[in-house]
A and B are shown apart, each in its own frame.
Chain A
């Protein structure tokens, strides 16, 4: 149990285009989802926290107009990178937490974004 999926697993796009990444909790209801970005050989950096049905809370330095987060249901959150540029190329990882899992977060497999 407690499986989180992400789609797509990797995406290559041209500079200026927008990319949407989906994060789904497959067998539990995720009251809270988190989006992280990880650059090569670095740790996970939290971008934002989203609770179902409410606006996401962004970390300092993360542009909310560039990284649009939607958490419309208890099993789906989406991250849209708008007008992507090469510096947005990174590994994007989501995690989910249910109301019954306590403090444990379940991580997705990640999405590799490459912007040309």
Chain B
């Protein structure tokens, strides 16, 4: 089955700097990769997703890139703000028709003013 690894586990940046979180997956047949932001005590919120037929997707300050050959995808946040501080999870959709999302271990992002 699918396995997703995520790095780094913690990331501290200064306000205004960029933050990059990277994930790798094991199943080359996976074709859907969402990113979630989870604030303390709340459920995950989808912030961006990408499908395997696209190499990059951008939404304002957030972008995701996908390298199918290397089986890795990354989240890029530019011009970070203190309100970006949260835990970010990547995920990959299991390709065996189960509809299951396989989550990475999470990255705790802290943006210092």
Contact = CB atoms under 8 A, between A and B. Distances in A.
A108 B43 contact: yes
A110 B43 CA distance: 5
Contacts of B44: 44, 93, 107
Contacts of A44: 44, 89, 103
A49 interface: yes
A49 to B, nearest CB: 7
Contacts, number: 49
Given A43-B89, A44-B89, A107 B43 contact: yes
A43 B106 contact: yes
A43 B105 contact: yes
Interface string A75-116: 000000000000000000100010000111111111010000
Interface string B42-82: 11111001000000000000000000000000000000000
A74 interface: no
Interface of B: 32, 34, 36, 41-46, 49, 89, 93, 98-101, 103-106
